[in-house]
Amino acid sequence: MAKPLTLEKILFSQGFGTRRYCSDLVYADLVEINGVLADDPEVKMDPEGLVLRVEGVDWVYHEKAYIAFNKPANYECSHKTKHHPSVYSLLPRPLIERAVQCVGRLDQDTTGLLLLSDDGQFIHRMTTPKKNIGKVYEITTAEPITQKQIDLLLSGVVLDDDPKPCFAKACTILEERRLAMTIVEGRYHQVKRMLAAVGNHVAQLHRSSIGNYAMPADLKEGEWCWLSISDLEQLSKSIE
Ligand code: URA
Protein backbone atom coordinates (compact mmCIF):
# COMPACT_ATOMS: atom_id res chain seq x y z
CA MET A 1 0.00 0.00 0.00
CA ALA A 2 1.29 3.47 -0.92
CA LYS A 3 1.37 6.29 1.65
CA PRO A 4 -2.13 7.83 1.97
CA LEU A 5 -2.37 11.34 0.50
CA THR A 6 -5.09 13.96 0.65
CA LEU A 7 -7.29 14.18 -2.45
CA GLU A 8 -6.02 17.72 -3.03
CA LYS A 9 -2.39 16.48 -3.10
CA ILE A 10 -3.33 13.59 -5.38
CA LEU A 11 -4.99 15.93 -7.89
CA PHE A 12 -2.03 18.32 -7.67
CA SER A 13 0.46 15.45 -8.27
CA GLN A 14 -1.41 14.46 -11.43
CA GLY A 15 -1.13 17.94 -12.96
CA PHE A 16 -4.65 19.27 -12.43
CA GLY A 17 -3.43 22.69 -11.28
CA THR A 18 -2.33 24.43 -8.09
CA ARG A 19 -3.35 22.89 -4.78
CA ARG A 20 -5.88 25.68 -4.31
CA TYR A 21 -7.35 25.03 -7.77
CA CYS A 22 -7.49 21.27 -7.07
CA SER A 23 -9.32 21.93 -3.83
CA ASP A 24 -11.81 24.17 -5.67
CA LEU A 25 -12.38 21.44 -8.29
CA VAL A 26 -13.62 19.19 -5.47
CA TYR A 27 -15.86 21.88 -3.97
CA ALA A 28 -17.27 22.55 -7.45
CA ASP A 29 -18.37 18.88 -7.70
CA LEU A 30 -15.98 18.28 -10.60
CA VAL A 31 -14.10 15.30 -9.14
CA GLU A 32 -15.23 11.68 -8.91
CA ILE A 33 -13.20 8.89 -7.33
CA ASN A 34 -13.87 5.40 -8.60
CA GLY A 35 -17.29 6.62 -9.80
CA VAL A 36 -18.30 8.40 -6.58
CA LEU A 37 -18.56 12.20 -6.35
CA ALA A 38 -15.91 13.59 -3.97
CA ASP A 39 -16.82 16.35 -1.49
CA ASP A 40 -13.74 16.76 0.73
CA PRO A 41 -10.33 17.74 -0.68
CA GLU A 42 -8.69 16.92 2.67
CA VAL A 43 -9.79 13.29 2.78
CA LYS A 44 -6.79 10.93 2.75
CA MET A 45 -6.58 7.82 0.58
CA ASP A 46 -4.19 5.35 -0.99
CA PRO A 47 -3.55 6.83 -4.46
CA GLU A 48 -2.46 3.53 -6.13
CA GLY A 49 -4.99 2.36 -8.71
CA LEU A 50 -7.35 5.31 -8.19
CA VAL A 51 -9.61 6.10 -11.12
CA LEU A 52 -10.37 9.80 -11.06
CA ARG A 53 -12.84 11.69 -13.19
CA VAL A 54 -11.91 15.35 -13.29
CA GLU A 55 -14.04 17.89 -15.15
CA GLY A 56 -15.59 14.96 -17.04
CA VAL A 57 -12.27 13.39 -18.06
CA ASP A 58 -11.20 9.95 -16.78
CA TRP A 59 -7.72 9.83 -15.33
CA VAL A 60 -5.94 6.85 -13.77
CA TYR A 61 -3.50 7.83 -11.02
CA HIS A 62 0.16 7.36 -11.98
CA GLU A 63 2.87 8.38 -9.54
CA LYS A 64 5.23 9.02 -12.46
CA ALA A 65 4.25 9.52 -16.09
CA TYR A 66 5.74 7.16 -18.69
CA ILE A 67 4.12 7.75 -22.04
CA ALA A 68 4.35 6.30 -25.55
CA PHE A 69 3.30 8.70 -28.29
CA ASN A 70 2.83 8.12 -32.01
CA LYS A 71 4.38 11.27 -33.45
CA PRO A 72 2.86 12.61 -36.65
CA ALA A 73 4.94 14.49 -39.24
CA ASN A 74 5.16 18.27 -39.07
CA TYR A 75 5.48 18.54 -35.29
CA GLU A 76 8.64 19.56 -33.45
CA CYS A 77 9.91 17.86 -30.27
CA SER A 78 10.48 21.15 -28.53
CA HIS A 79 8.66 23.66 -26.35
CA LYS A 80 10.17 26.57 -28.29
CA THR A 81 9.31 25.53 -31.81
CA LYS A 82 10.67 27.30 -34.89
CA HIS A 83 8.43 26.39 -37.83
CA HIS A 84 5.86 23.79 -36.74
CA PRO A 85 3.58 23.18 -33.78
CA SER A 86 4.98 21.33 -30.78
CA VAL A 87 4.33 17.66 -30.00
CA TYR A 88 3.41 18.91 -26.52
CA SER A 89 0.36 20.63 -28.04
CA LEU A 90 -1.06 17.14 -28.73
CA LEU A 91 -0.89 16.03 -25.08
CA PRO A 92 -3.51 16.69 -22.38
CA ARG A 93 -2.95 19.60 -20.00
CA PRO A 94 -2.19 17.50 -16.88
CA LEU A 95 0.79 15.89 -18.63
CA ILE A 96 2.11 19.31 -19.64
CA GLU A 97 1.60 20.60 -16.07
CA ARG A 98 3.64 17.61 -14.89
CA ALA A 99 6.38 18.74 -17.27
CA VAL A 100 6.74 15.50 -19.20
CA GLN A 101 9.75 15.71 -21.54
CA CYS A 102 10.64 13.84 -24.72
CA VAL A 103 13.05 10.95 -24.19
CA GLY A 104 15.33 11.94 -27.09
CA ARG A 105 13.97 13.79 -30.10
CA LEU A 106 12.67 12.98 -33.54
CA ASP A 107 13.03 15.38 -36.45
CA GLN A 108 10.02 17.42 -37.44
CA ASP A 109 9.37 15.22 -40.50
CA THR A 110 10.03 11.88 -38.72
CA THR A 111 7.01 9.90 -37.54
CA GLY A 112 6.62 7.13 -34.98
CA LEU A 113 7.52 6.10 -31.49
CA LEU A 114 8.41 8.81 -29.02
CA LEU A 115 8.63 8.21 -25.28
CA LEU A 116 7.92 10.97 -22.77
CA SER A 117 8.25 11.07 -19.01
CA ASP A 118 8.41 13.30 -15.94
CA ASP A 119 10.97 10.96 -14.35
CA GLY A 120 14.35 12.61 -14.85
CA GLN A 121 16.30 9.47 -13.91
CA PHE A 122 14.38 7.41 -16.46
CA ILE A 123 15.05 10.01 -19.18
CA HIS A 124 18.73 9.99 -18.29
CA ARG A 125 18.99 6.18 -18.28
CA MET A 126 17.23 5.97 -21.65
CA THR A 127 19.28 8.65 -23.38
CA THR A 128 22.78 8.21 -21.99
CA PRO A 129 25.05 7.14 -24.89
CA LYS A 130 26.70 4.50 -22.64
CA LYS A 131 23.57 2.35 -22.64
CA ASN A 132 23.46 1.43 -26.33
CA ILE A 133 19.71 0.97 -26.65
CA GLY A 134 18.72 -0.23 -30.13
CA LYS A 135 16.22 1.92 -31.98
CA VAL A 136 14.57 0.59 -35.12
CA TYR A 137 13.83 2.99 -37.96
CA GLU A 138 11.78 2.12 -41.02
CA ILE A 139 13.28 4.10 -43.84
CA THR A 140 11.81 4.86 -47.25
CA THR A 141 14.62 5.80 -49.59
CA ALA A 142 14.68 7.93 -52.74
CA GLU A 143 16.83 5.37 -54.62
CA PRO A 144 16.69 1.56 -54.64
CA ILE A 145 18.73 0.10 -51.76
CA THR A 146 21.76 -1.91 -52.83
CA GLN A 147 23.62 -4.67 -51.00
CA LYS A 148 26.73 -2.48 -51.19
CA GLN A 149 24.90 0.25 -49.24
CA ILE A 150 23.78 -2.28 -46.61
CA ASP A 151 27.34 -3.60 -46.26
CA LEU A 152 28.64 -0.05 -45.79
CA LEU A 153 25.98 0.80 -43.19
CA LEU A 154 26.83 -2.36 -41.23
CA SER A 155 30.59 -1.89 -41.44
CA GLY A 156 30.36 1.78 -40.42
CA VAL A 157 30.22 5.17 -42.12
CA VAL A 158 32.02 8.36 -41.13
CA LEU A 159 29.81 11.44 -40.78
CA ASP A 160 31.20 14.91 -41.36
CA ASP A 161 31.23 16.08 -37.71
CA ASP A 162 32.97 13.10 -36.09
CA PRO A 163 35.82 10.85 -37.29
CA LYS A 164 34.39 7.97 -35.22
CA PRO A 165 32.27 5.84 -37.60
CA CYS A 166 28.55 5.19 -37.08
CA PHE A 167 27.34 1.60 -37.43
CA ALA A 168 23.98 0.10 -38.19
CA LYS A 169 23.51 -2.74 -35.71
CA ALA A 170 21.09 -4.49 -38.08
CA CYS A 171 19.62 -3.84 -41.52
CA THR A 172 16.74 -5.63 -43.21
CA ILE A 173 15.63 -4.77 -46.73
CA LEU A 174 11.80 -4.66 -46.67
CA GLU A 175 11.17 -3.55 -50.25
CA GLU A 176 13.22 -2.09 -53.10
CA ARG A 177 13.10 1.34 -51.42
CA ARG A 178 12.30 0.33 -47.83
CA LEU A 179 14.73 -0.65 -45.14
CA ALA A 180 14.52 -1.38 -41.40
CA MET A 181 17.70 -0.23 -39.69
CA THR A 182 18.68 -0.51 -36.00
CA ILE A 183 21.05 2.05 -34.54
CA VAL A 184 22.23 2.40 -30.97
CA GLU A 185 23.48 5.98 -30.89
CA GLY A 186 21.43 9.13 -31.27
CA ARG A 187 23.57 11.58 -33.19
CA TYR A 188 22.02 14.62 -34.87
CA HIS A 189 20.04 13.56 -38.00
CA GLN A 190 21.93 10.28 -37.73
CA VAL A 191 19.79 8.07 -39.97
CA LYS A 192 19.45 10.69 -42.70
CA ARG A 193 23.19 11.39 -42.67
CA MET A 194 24.11 7.68 -42.68
CA LEU A 195 21.93 7.07 -45.73
CA ALA A 196 23.37 10.15 -47.46
CA ALA A 197 26.90 8.91 -46.66
CA VAL A 198 26.27 5.68 -48.59
CA GLY A 199 24.86 7.55 -51.61
CA ASN A 200 21.12 7.24 -50.96
CA HIS A 201 18.56 9.67 -49.50
CA VAL A 202 15.87 9.34 -46.83
CA ALA A 203 12.45 10.19 -48.25
CA GLN A 204 10.48 9.12 -45.15
CA LEU A 205 11.53 8.08 -41.67
CA HIS A 206 9.51 6.26 -39.04
CA ARG A 207 10.68 4.91 -35.67
CA SER A 208 8.98 1.62 -34.86
CA SER A 209 10.67 0.52 -31.63
CA ILE A 210 13.01 1.46 -28.82
CA GLY A 211 14.82 -1.42 -27.13
CA ASN A 212 12.35 -4.22 -26.52
CA TYR A 213 9.36 -1.88 -26.74
CA ALA A 214 7.54 -1.69 -30.08
CA MET A 215 4.91 0.88 -30.99
CA PRO A 216 1.51 -0.58 -30.05
CA ALA A 217 -0.32 -1.57 -33.25
CA ASP A 218 -3.50 0.23 -32.16
CA LEU A 219 -1.84 3.54 -31.23
CA LYS A 220 -2.87 5.92 -34.01
CA GLU A 221 -0.87 8.94 -35.18
CA GLY A 222 -1.15 11.78 -32.69
CA GLU A 223 -2.33 9.44 -29.90
CA TRP A 224 -0.55 8.58 -26.65
CA CYS A 225 -0.86 5.82 -24.03
CA TRP A 226 0.57 5.04 -20.59
CA LEU A 227 3.40 2.51 -20.49
CA SER A 228 2.44 -0.46 -18.31
CA ILE A 229 4.70 -1.99 -15.66
CA SER A 230 5.55 -4.81 -18.05
CA ASP A 231 6.39 -2.28 -20.83
CA LEU A 232 8.76 -0.56 -18.39
CA GLU A 233 10.31 -3.91 -17.47
CA GLN A 234 10.87 -4.63 -21.17
CA LEU A 235 12.55 -1.25 -21.55
CA SER A 236 14.70 -1.85 -18.46
CA LYS A 237 15.88 -5.14 -19.91
CA SER A 238 17.02 -3.24 -23.03
CA ILE A 239 19.27 -0.96 -21.02
CA GLU A 240 20.89 -3.45 -18.66
N1 URA B 1 17.77 10.04 -37.36
C2 URA B 1 17.35 11.07 -38.13
O3 URA B 1 18.01 11.41 -39.11
N4 URA B 1 16.21 11.69 -37.79
C5 URA B 1 15.45 11.34 -36.73
O6 URA B 1 14.39 11.93 -36.49
C7 URA B 1 15.88 10.26 -35.95
C8 URA B 1 17.05 9.62 -36.28
Please list every protein residue whose CB sits less than 6 Å from any atom of ligand 1. Answer: 106-107, 110, 189-192, 205
Ligand 1 centroid distance, CA of 234 (Å): 23
Ligand 1 centroid distance, CA of 6 (Å): 44
Annotated catalytic sites, by residue?
Answer: 107
- Average pLDDT (27-35) is 96
What percentage of the chain has pLDDT greater than the value 90? 89
Mutate to test the pocket of ligand 1, among 190, 195, 206 (most ligand atoms within 8 A of CB): 190
Domains identified in the chain and CATH numbers: 5-60 (3.10.290.10), 66-128+222-239 (3.30.70.580), 134-210 (3.30.70.1560)
Which is the closest atom of ligand 1 to the Cα of 189? 3
Q: Is the pLDDT of residue 23 over 70?
A: yes
Residue 76 burial (C-beta neighbours within 10 Å; 0-12, 13-18, 19+): buried
Write the pLDDT tens digit of every residue in 194-236.
999 999 999 999 999 999 999 999 999 999 999 999 999 999 8
Q: What is the pLDDT of residue 238?
A: 84
Q: What is the pLDDT of residue 240?
A: 62
CA dist 67 and 118 (Å) reads: 9
Q: What is the pLDDT of residue 73?
A: 98
CA dist 128 and 119 (Å) reads: 14
pLDDT averaged over every residue in the chain: 95
User: Which H, E and C letters describe 47-70, residue by residue?
Assistant: CCCCEEEECCEEEECCCCCEEEEE
Q: What is the pLDDT of residue 186?
A: 87
Write the pLDDT tens digit of every residue in 123-179.
999 988 777 799 999 999 999 999 999 999 999 999 988 889 999 999 999 999 999
Ligand 1 centroid distance, CA of 21 (Å): 40
